[in-house]
């Protein structure tokens, strides 16, 4: 439609809507009484006032008067005023729908059908008139007639084919397949409709967890049919990939993305981006297939080196995030990381490899000395960025803490804290030093440092610092006996050193030796984390539930609620329990630092389109 025509139609629409407003503002008691009786469904009383109001201003009061007459079953009068309105303006053919309504009540089927057919036949195919007639049919549940009206409009204005309006009619008709196809027609009509189509489909198909929104199986079926018929319509394939990502069908997304990459002779960018999404969702196998596909493109590909390094990271994560990886699995990854390090050690790409290799050696393969040597050599090499160097110093400090060389660890943390006093990494180092003081039993100094960090710029550090301060305050604020806290602190150090059995035993001893201690929630929370890392999810669930039942309003209440939800989602794979637990974070702990993430995950589990 040309711009001038659009403006003309817009003006017509405004004038038409003004003329057909349901009512003007009440200006006297007759207005008010008529509307009052109408709202109270005392139609005969209302009509006594509407009659005069209608005679004085037919356009303003017709709609109210017509409905009130129907309510009073005065069909003859309703027919009379409707025909009067038609006589005054033959373009208002929606009034034939009102006549049809009257004839339907009277049981005059032939006259009813004739009225409806006349509404369609005499319709002037101008957007405001089209919409009014369609709305009249929709109001009476005459959806097929409404579709017929839009079909007539589509022929007159081919550049505006009424896809969304027709889709809405099919939705009200509960014809989901036709509704979906209208939206897909819109997408094929113009690629730029993609965002509107996605949003409308999400809203129209509801939020049922398994088959709501874009998870509806009909949508995928209809889309795949169209792709088979029209494989060159790229937007359809891209929409299918979008749906597959939302449905967590990453393998399907990979197949489609690979096909598009080959068909369009791309450089692997869409595959590389998909690999990162798969990694974020812990879909290790599909992520690795994505990276392998890029690597197969050869060394001249833009993403070749990044695919090798990121692919190695995926293999590392896939093994280390298992509850109890085997020595053989760890050894395979170690060998691959070592080979990658040799390949890239003279380049700026070696950092992530070194970090993963050192962590693997120290925390999984009992090769702390090798890890220390590797990191020391890497840190000392010239040209290393100071921020990156600080990051590796913290890791080296962590490994020293693992081996019991507390002062070496503290020295490295202090260096980072001094060099980056006001940056997040400096605050992280400061917090690690505070924890070292805590492990060593120097609680006053640990609390002093934690109190400073409660104002840290990073929310996570600030929250951890607050927790540490409160643990110390609660444990020794009143009771001068700090022995329970000393035992707990030493158990926490054992956790860091991966001495899990010893840590649990020491924590259990606290309740035996000091049955009035205030560390119940702390012990349960720490044990829950240990059990999760060991793959003992039932035991972890019990610990979190203990906190919620007995210590729900204390320090770890919101932490336990969020971690329980995460446990259900990622480890136990109980979607319903996860969703309920995330919702409890929002309702029971609205001020928690976890609310934003809990809301996001709740919506994701519910099936929302998070890109809207």
Cβ neighbours for 596, distance < 8 A, ≥ 6 positions apart = none
Dihedral over Cα of 248, 251, 254, 260: its sign: negative
The rounded Cα 402 to chain-centroid distance in angstroms is 38
In the chain, the N- to C-terminal Cα span, in Å, equals 29
Cα distance between residue 549 and residue 527, in whole Å: 16
- The per-residue pLDDT for 383 is 86
Structure tokens at 590: 């609205």
Q: Please state, in angstroms and rounded to a whole number, the distance separating the CA atoms of residues 161 and 163.
A: 6
* CA proximity to 275, closest of 266, 264, 286, 263: 286
Q: Is 174 exposed, middle or buried (0-12, 13-18, 19+ CB in 10 A)?
A: exposed
Q: Where are the domains of the chain?
A: 477-606
Tell me how far apart the alpha carbons of residues 544 and 127 are, in angstroms, rounded to a whole number. 60
Interatomic CA distance for residues 193 and 200, integer angstroms: 11
Q: Using an 8 Å Cβ cutoff, are 397 and 359 in contact?
A: no
φ/ψ of residue 145, rounded to 5: -65, -40
- Helix H, strand E, coil C: the string for 429-494 is HHHHHHHHHHHCCCHHHHHHHHHHHCCCCCHHHHHHHHHHHHHHHHHHCCCCCCHHHHHHHHHHHH
> With contact defined as beta carbons under 8 Å apart, do 120 and 148 qualify?
yes
Structure tokens at 406: 């507390």
pLDDT of residue 106: 95
Rounded Cα distance, 469 and 435, in Å:
10
How large is the greatest C-alpha to C-alpha distance in the chain, in angstroms? 99
Residue linked to tokens 């080979």: 339
Burial 385-424 (b: 16+ CB within 10 A, else e): eeeebbbbbbbbbbbbbbeeebebbbebbbbbbebbeebe
Q: How far apart are CA 260 and CA 166, in angstroms?
A: 31
Cα–Cα dist 562/525, whole Å: 12
Of all helices (H) and strands (E), which one includes residue 270? helix 269-280
∠ CA 510-515-520, nearest 5°, is 65
Instruction: Say if residues 584 and 550 touch (Cβ distance below 8 Å).
Output: no
The single-letter DSSP state of residue 382 is T
- Contact by Cβ (8 Å): 428, 461: yes
CB 198 within 8 A of CB 610: no
CB 207 within 8 A of CB 213: yes
Say what the pLDDT of residue 212 is.
57
Mean per-residue pLDDT pooled into runs of 10, the chain (612 residues): 43 44 53 92 93 93 94 95 92 94 95 95 88 95 96 88 96 94 95 92 70 75 93 93 90 95 95 97 96 97 96 96 91 96 92 96 95 96 92 96 93 96 94 95 94 88 91 78 93 92 95 89 96 94 96 93 96 94 96 94 80 50
Say how far apart CA 272 and CA 290 lie, in whole Å.
7
What distance lies between CA 167 and its chain's CA centroid? 25
Report whether 69 contacts 81 (CB < 8 A): yes
Written as one string, the DSSP assignment of 5-58 is HHHHHHHHHHHHHHHT-S-PPP-SHHHHHHHHHHHTT-HHHHHHHHHHHHHH-H
* Cβ neighbours around 55 below 10 Å, total: 11
User: Is this model's pTM higher than 0.85 or not?
Assistant: no
The candidate with the shortest Cα–Cα distance to 211, out of 606, 573, 576, 600, is 606
Q: Which CATH number fits domain 477-606: 1.25.40.10, 3.40.50.10300, 3.30.930.10, 3.40.190.80?
A: 1.25.40.10
Judged by DSSP in three states, 91 sits in coil
As given in the structure block, the two tokens for residue 467 are 């927790």
Between the alpha carbon of residue 94 and those of residues 112, 120, 172, 298, the distances in Å are: 13, 9, 20, 66
CA pair distance 100, 383, nearest whole angstrom: 84
């Amino acid at each position: 439609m040309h711009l001038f025509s659009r403006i003309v139609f817009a003006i017509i629409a405004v004038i038409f809507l003004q003329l057909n407003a349901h009512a003007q503002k009440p200006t006297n008691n007759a207005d008010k009484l008529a509307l009052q009786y109408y709202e109270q469904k005392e139609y005969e009383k209302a009509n006594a006032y509407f009659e005069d109001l209608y005679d004085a201003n037919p356009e303003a009061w017709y709609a109210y008067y017509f409905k009130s007459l129907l309510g009073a079953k005065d069909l003859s009068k309703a027919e009379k005023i409707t025909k009067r309105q038609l006589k005054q303006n033959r373009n208002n053919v929606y009034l034939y729908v009102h006549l049809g309504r009257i004839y339907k009540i009277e049981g005059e089927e032939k006259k009813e059908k004739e009225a409806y057919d006349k509404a369609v036949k005499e319709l002037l195919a101008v957007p405001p008139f089209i919409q009014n007639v369609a709305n009249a049919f929709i109001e009476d549940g005459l959806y097929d007639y409404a579709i017929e009206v839009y079909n007539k409009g589509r022929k007159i204005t081919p550049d505006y084919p009424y896809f969304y309006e027709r889709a809405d009619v099919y939705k009200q008709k509960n014809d989901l397949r036709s509704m979906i196809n209208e939206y897909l027609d819109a997408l094929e009509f113009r690629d730029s409709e993609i965002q509107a189509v996605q949003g409308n489909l999400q809203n129209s198909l509801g939020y049922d967890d398994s088959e709501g929104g874009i998870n509806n199986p009909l949508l995928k079926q209809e889309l795949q049919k169209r792709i088979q018929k029209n494989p060159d319509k790229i937007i359809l394939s891209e929409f299918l990939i979008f749906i597959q990502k939302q449905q967590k069908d990453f393998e399907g997304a990979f197949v489609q993305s690979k096909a598009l990459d080959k068909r369009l002779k791309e450089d692997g960018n869409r595959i590389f981006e998909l690999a990162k999404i798969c990694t974020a969702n812990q879909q290790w196998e599909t992520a690795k297939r994505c990276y392998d596909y890029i690597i197969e493109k050869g060394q001249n590909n833009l993403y070749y080196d990044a695919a090798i390094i990121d692919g190695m990271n995926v293999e590392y994560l896939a093994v280390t995030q298992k509850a109890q990886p085997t020595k053989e699995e760890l050894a395979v990854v170690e060998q691959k990381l070592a080979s990658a390090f040799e390949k890239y050690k003279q380049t700026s790409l070696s950092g992530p490899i070194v970090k993963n290799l050192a962590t693997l050696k120290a925390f999984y393969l009992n090769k702390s000395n090798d890890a220390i040597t590797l990191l020391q050599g890497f840190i000392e090499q010239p040209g290393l960025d100071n921020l990156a160097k600080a990051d590796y110093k913290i890791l080296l400090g962590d490994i020293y803490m693992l081996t019991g060389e507390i002062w070496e660890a503290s020295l490295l943390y202090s260096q980072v804290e001094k060099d980056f006093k006001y940056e997040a990494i400096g605050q992280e180092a400061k917090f690690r030093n505070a924890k070292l003081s805590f492990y060593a039993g120097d609680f006053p100094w640990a609390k002093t440092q934690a109190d400073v960090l409660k104002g840290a710029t990073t929310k996570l550090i600030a929250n951890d610092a607050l927790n540490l301060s409160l643990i110390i305050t609660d444990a020794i604020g009143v009771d001068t006996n700090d022995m329970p806290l000393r035992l707990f602190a030493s158990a926490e150090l054992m956790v860091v050193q991966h001495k899990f059995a010893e840590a649990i035993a020491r924590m259990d001893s606290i309740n035996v030796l000091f049955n009035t201690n205030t560390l119940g929630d702390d012990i349960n929370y720490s044990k829950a984390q240990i059990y999760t890392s060991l793959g003992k999810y039932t035991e972890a669930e019990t610990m979190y539930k203990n906190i919620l039942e007995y210590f729900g309003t204390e320090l770890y209440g919101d932490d336990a609620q969020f971690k329980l939800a995460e446990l259900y989602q990622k480890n136990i794979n109980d979607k319903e329990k996860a969703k309920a637990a995330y919702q409890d974070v929002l309702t029971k702990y609205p001020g928690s630092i976890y609310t934003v993430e809990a809301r996001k995950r709740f919506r994701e589990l519910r099936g929302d389109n998070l890109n809207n």
